[in-house]
Amino acid sequence: MRSEQSYVAGLYTRLDGERAQVKGRYSAALRGNGGSPMEREFEVRALAKEVKRLDVADNGLCFGRLDTLAGERTYIGRIGLFDEANEFETLLLDWRAPAARAFYVATAATPEDMRRRRQFHTRGRQLVDFTDEVLGRPDGGEGGDAALLAAVNAPRGAGMRDIVATIQAEQDEIIRLDHPGVLVIEGGPGTGKTVVALHRVAYLLYTQREQMERHGVLVVGPNPAFLNHIGRVLPSLGETNVVFMTAGDFVPGLRATADDTPEAARLKGSLRILDVLAAAVADRQRVPEEPVHIELADVTVRIDAATADWAREEARTSGLPHNAAREVFIEVLTWALTERAITRIGQGWLTRADREAWENLRTDLREELADHDGFTAALDELWPILTPETLLTQLYSSPERLRAAGADPALFRVDGDAWTVSDVPLLDELVDLLGRDKPVDRTAERERRAEAAYAAAVLDNMVGREDMMDDEDHLFATDLLYAEDLADRFLERDTRELAERAAADRDWTYRHVVVDEAQELSEMDWRVLMRRCPGKSFTVVGDLAQRRSVAGATSWSTMMEPYVPGRWVYRSLTVNYRTPAEIMSVAAAVLAEFAPEVQPPESVRACGVQPWSREVGADELATAIEEFVREEAGREGTSVVIGPPDVPGTVPASETKGLEFDAVLVVEPERILADGPRGAAELYVALTRATQRLGVLHQGALPRALTGLAGIGSPVRAVR
């Protein structure tokens, strides 16, 4: 024990020394130590990342040791450390390194050439105990589950913890799986699918850092509470180039504040909505019902239906998005109106041979049309510049426009801009259908280039005056950015962190995407995500039995095959590390009612506390909830009260997806279950959030699946 404590203490000494060296170089880089400004900025960013990597290693730096049959020892930890004098001597092996794999997968039956696995138990920087597991000797006894059971039995804190010290063989195989496409991981409650997906990201960033780091990783979760819950896992593993989003965040700057009806959500989630969007855009490309007269200085011209229809067809067949195709529409109309005007104005005095006069007249007419308010108003009516928000707002709030686009009347709403999560992929799709507002884009580009040119001229002037300065005021060239450098900074440099830049850029593409609770995503959601990751590298985790969205997945092949045919693989997790057997038996009974074909995960432990139920009257419900909250406040760990949205003091089950609590109180399960198949999935989610204690309060009869609960207080009545 003492020798191991000494070794761990030595690792921390090495960590502190390396950290001091890196922080010293970081401070020097901030002060400026030669090189170009861009080189210094690159160095500062790289060193800042290294400082973070070393800082996160403080907690649980070393968590185990492997002994080979040949007597060699390898210590496994959160990061890799090397001897200061000999950089080829490994003091601590990073858990993601190939050589560390045996720490997670070696068993008595398949020892992987290992003799012993030693798992450390630490408190802060102190090693307080360790557990040995002898490998390759079935009669030697095993204690390898001690670390795992200690972790799953520990009280829950404010967020999810990493599992680098307790990764199981089933999980490790998935984390290290070498598959370049889409990996679908399905697992019931408590199987660790979320944390496995996050550790897979850390593993990929370790093994493919150069390819992945420039574009970053996107993690998509079901709600902000879930993202907050998992947000510390990757930083604790030293990875920060990660963007966390919900499906409602796919369009930067937009916030969904309303809810769709199930039918509207189903319609918007289907790929058939693409035809509606295309038709809605086409409906805004119009021809006049009556000719539009444009009075110019010397002649009046008119836009008739035939001319506008010709211009519209030319614009549509250009292949450009709507806003860009408007320029084609304008060009054709301008040409047609100009030619007609020239013919009328020049009749009797202008011959075809007088080319210069013709061209001058043509130029004058084009300029007059371009500045004509009536012509501009006609263009805005026939081919308006549209934003995704404008088009959808006007579509939803107009029965006439919905009919014209062939849309279901269920999409109508009075407040067209009351955005829902289901609107987000439609708005994203419309960015491509409509394109950017090109005139605005060109103006912004001109302004940026003007700023850069101005800055370059000012700096050139400063540099040119160097020879005119005396020694005291002399400016050294190394202290200056030259004109080209400054211009580049104005035009190209962005000093924000990668995650911040990516989250704000709708066109950003990621090297890898993690999707959690993936069974809730619609076909349209997947279309957005596939657009965000051209390489189609995904880790997808979910549980079809927990699906509550009417637009969500009913099978993984339905969602994956259209995008990655033959490039996706399926893996399942079957062991429940979170939910004790006593609670899982209750949840399994609910699962058998609505999804009898699904096998519930097997719990690895029992907690010794039986779930309970209690029948209360309407006037007793609030008091019973308060009693539970008060009692749990005096315990270590976390708790939650889950119930229908209209019951004070409760949260809906949908807001607890992916979360875990030491104690859970489920209120009025009969009302949760009454919401059809979605309600059954909600109740299943609610029952499987607890790691230690589960209670149920009900006013009406208990659902049949819950009749096995132990009753407290008044007799439990059950539906037969």
Helices (H) and strands (E) in the chain, counts: 27, 21
**DSSP string across 321-353:** -HHHHHHHHHHHHHHHHHHHHHHHHHTTT--TT
- For residue 303, the 8-state DSSP code is E
- Predicted pLDDT of residue 552: 95
Only one residue has tokens 């432990």, namely 605
CB atoms within 10 A of CB 90: 16
Residue 12 · residue 54 · CB < 8 Å: no
- Residue 206 in contact with residue 78, Cβ under 8 Å? no
* Residues 196/552, Cβ–Cβ less than 8 Å: no
Give the start-end residues of each E strand in 307-446: none
Give residue for tokens 């208990």. Answer: 702
Residue 217 phi, psi (nearest 5): -125, 140
**Residues of the chain scoring pLDDT < 70:** 33-35, 37, 136-154, 156-159, 162, 346-355, 437-495, 712-720
**pLDDT tens string 455-464:** 445 444 444 4
* Cα distance between residue 306 and residue 296, in whole Å: 21
Phi-psi region of 192 (alpha: psi -120 to 50; beta: other; left: phi over 0): left
Two structure tokens written together for 543: 């549980």
Strands 182-187 and 568-573: parallel
The residue ranges of every structural domain in the chain are 1-161, 182-251+506-573, 286-382, 436-461+478-501, 581-711
- Residues belonging to the binding site for ATP are 187-194
* Known binding residues: 187-194
Tokens of 60: 């649980």
- List phi, psi (to 5°) of 605: -150, 165
Domains 182-251+506-573 and 581-711 share a fold: yes
The C-alpha atoms of residue 491 and residue 47 are separated, in whole angstroms, by: 25
What distance in Å separates the CA atoms of residue 206 and residue 178, rounded to the nearest whole number?
13
CATH class of 581-711: alpha beta
CATH code of 182-251+506-573, in short, is 3.40.50.300
Q: Pairing state of beta strands 292-295 and 300-303?
A: antiparallel
Q: Are strands 81-82 and 90-94 parallel, antiparallel or unpaired?
A: antiparallel
Residue 539 CB-density burial (10 A; 0-12 exposed, 13-18 middle, 19+ buried): buried
**How high is the pLDDT of residue 378?**
96
Largest Cα separation within the chain, whole Å, is 114
608 CB neighbour count, 10 Å cutoff: 9
- Name the 3-class secondary structure at 150: helix
Those residues whose C-beta lies under 8 Å from the C-beta of residue 253, and which sit 6 or more positions away, are none
* E strands, 509-616, in order: 512-515, 538-542, 568-573, 575-576, 602-603, 612-615
Measured between alpha carbons, how far is 515 from 217 in angstroms, rounded to an integer?
Answer: 11
Helix residue ranges, H only, 89-232: 101-105, 145-153, 169-175, 193-207, 209-213, 224-230
* Residue 661 amino acid letter: F
pLDDT (0 to 100) of residue 479: 41
pLDDT value for 20: 92
Please answer whether residues 165 and 119 qualify as being in contact, where contact means their C-beta atoms are separated by less than 8 angstroms: yes
What's residue 162's pLDDT? 67
Token couple for 362: 């043509």
Is residue 49 a contact partner of residue 242, using CB atoms and an 8 Å limit?
no
Residue with tokens 């038709």: 279
Q: How many C-alpha atoms does 713 have within 13 Å on its Cβ side? A: 14
How far apart are alpha carbons 64 and 28 in whole angstroms?
A: 36
C-alpha angle 345/348/350, rounded to 5°? Answer: 65
| Cβ–Cβ < 8 Å for 229, 657 | no
* Identity at 669, one-letter amino acid code: P
Q: How far apart are CA 249 and CA 243, in angstroms?
A: 11
pLDDT at site 542: 95
- Residue in the block written with tokens 């040995």: 132
Residue type, 551: A
User: What is the per-residue pLDDT for 466?
Assistant: 45
Beta bridge partners of 614: 697, 712
Give residue 277's pLDDT: 98
Helices (H), 465-547: 483-491, 498-503, 523-532
